[in-house]
Amino acid sequence: MSLLVLHLPPHPRWHPTRAETATAEAAASVAEVDFVYSEDGQAPTERGRAAPALLPGLRRGTTQVIAVLSECALAWHRVTLPKAPAARLRQALIGLIEERLLDDPQALHFSLAPGLRPGDTGWVVATDRPWLAAQLEALGEAGVEVDRIVPVATPQSPAAVHFETRDEGSDGHAASGFDAGGMGPAEEPPLSLTWSHADGVLQWPLTAGTGLQAVRPDRFEESISTATPAASLAAERWLGRPLAVRSTAERWLDAARGDWNLRQFEFAPRHRAAATLRQAWQAWVSPAWRPVRWGLALLLVIQAVGLNVQAWQARRQVRDLRAGMDTVLRTAHPQVRAILDAPVQMTRETDALRAAAGEIGEADLERLLQAAAAGWPEGVTVDTLRYDTGHLTIEAAGLGATQAPVLQRQLQDAGWRAEAQPGSLQLWPASGAPR
């Protein structure tokens, strides 16, 4: 399954140092958006910034669209989820954490950690609701339907620290005007530090005179340390030890593959059935299900081949049986030259020989009269008889409603075909057909 990860542009007030450009960007909304596209959902295939209509993979039904929110856009609160009905859960959350909030609770959107149930203790994340609604609406108007919204960093244990340049954390592009090795115009690169630990997610700007003095590097000795390529040298110099290089695109993809989904409450997808079917289809066409698809296709091919083989064998058996009947007919009646229907011709020739020898056949009048007489009720007078090539009809007004079923059952038990009704009896040989 392919992934298209979009980074929603941050609210201007979340980046005071970028207020001049951020205000203009906010006015333009999502005219352009930073993205990472992955064909297999694992490694980045394409990375860049484009208008929504030009995003790669968007017109493919197998692409899942995921929006990523930066650390600065989210506030984390650890709570014991109240036991409240789903319709009142949001209000219950507001009442639970209202004293911790710096903004008006009605202006915030809340999301629950994956798998969090009433009575459990876990994380609730809050973000600006009008801003998020505006972003989703703008994307929707541009033809981009976001399947999930995920945070780029979540609380975790063991802790992890990640370094990036200031602008990488806001719009995904490295800042210019400095040398990460300290040889450029600025002595200190404008780094940003994100610390994800068991108690939440924190982000600090590491600038001269502020963050560099307030944060001690030894605080992160036990943390998993990573940095973007643009920030790696400066981060290693400040941290005093080497760290792993991890690009912004890789962080976004890792977040997209997680279980988080901030589309809850008022932002939950309205068409749940369609979304579920689309997610199921996306999962079905993903590389993880490729062995199952190949196995099912192979099974269908084997079934089709097996059915064709069985049909061919059945046709050959029918041909062999017909050839055997033709051989029997030619052997028993060599005078027959053209064989059209061997069973019918065999019956006709055998009847002709029997008639020529003066023997009574099963369908002859004498045999039918003998069979009817063997079970005929005493005291019942026959009014009329009618015989038509293997079919005998007897009219008897005295044959009552109680006697007719008994007579029919006796004749059928004797191997004849019979239909008895009050006042009449019809009789055929067992091999004959009613007329």
pLDDT of residue 231 exceeding 60, the answer is: yes
User: Cβ(423)–Cβ(407) under 8 Å?
Assistant: no
Alpha-carbon gap, residue 50 to 213, rounded angstroms? 38
Amino acid making up residue 131: W
Q: pLDDT value at position 162? A: 94
Render pLDDT for 242-260 as a digit per residue (tens, 0 to 9): 999 999 999 999 999 999 9
Tokens found for residue 116: 């969090």
Q: How many CA atoms lie within 13 A of 128 on its CB side?
A: 17
Structure tokens at 352: 């002709």
The answer on pLDDT for 433 being more than 60 is: no
User: pLDDT for 62-82, tens place per residue?
Assistant: 788 999 999 989 999 999 998
Is 60 exceeded by the pLDDT of residue 32? yes
For range 144-150, the mean pLDDT: 92
Mean pLDDT score of the chain: 82
Contact 399, 380 (CB under 8 A): yes
The residue-averaged pLDDT of 400-420 equals 90
% of the chain beyond a pLDDT of 70: 83
pLDDT of residue 415: 87
- Decide if pLDDT at 172 tops 80: no
**Close Cβ partners of 59 (under 8 Å, ≥ 6 residues apart):** none
pLDDT at residue 424, as a whole number: 92
pLDDT of residue 24: 42
CA distance 49 to 9: 11
Vertex 215 angle, CA 250 and 211, to 5°: 80
User: d(Cα 69, Cα 414) in Å, to the nearest integer?
Assistant: 88
Burial category of 6 from C-beta neighbours within 10 Å (exposed 0-12, middle 13-18, buried 19 and up): buried
Nearest Cα to Cα of residue 9 among 63, 55, 73: 73
Q: Are strands 108-112 and 121-128 parallel, antiparallel or unpaired?
A: antiparallel
- Locate all alpha helices (DSSP H) within 5-109, ordered by sequence: 19-28, 89-97
What is the number of other CB atoms lying within 10 angstroms of the CB of residue 94?
15
β-pairing, 75-80 vs 108-112, is unpaired
| Secondary structure class of 185 (helix, strand, coil) | coil
Q: How confident is the model at residue 181 (pLDDT cuts 50, 70, 90)?
A: very low
- Can you give the pLDDT at residue 197? 93
The residue ranges of DSSP E strands in 230-354, in sequence order, are 244-245
Closest CA to 125 of 87, 95, 145, 151: 151
The per-residue pLDDT for range 312-366, each reduced to its tens digit, is 999 999 999 988 988 888 888 888 888 888 888 887 887 777 777 777 777 788 8
**How is residue 267 written in tokens?**
């932002």
User: At a CB cut-off of 8 Å and minimum separation 6, what does 311 contact?
Assistant: none
The pLDDT assigned to 191 comes to 85
Q: How far apart are CA 230 and CA 271, in angstroms?
A: 42
pTM greater than 0.75: no
Question: Does 428 have pLDDT greater than 60?
Answer: yes
Give the span between the Cα atoms of 41 and 254, in whole angstroms. 9
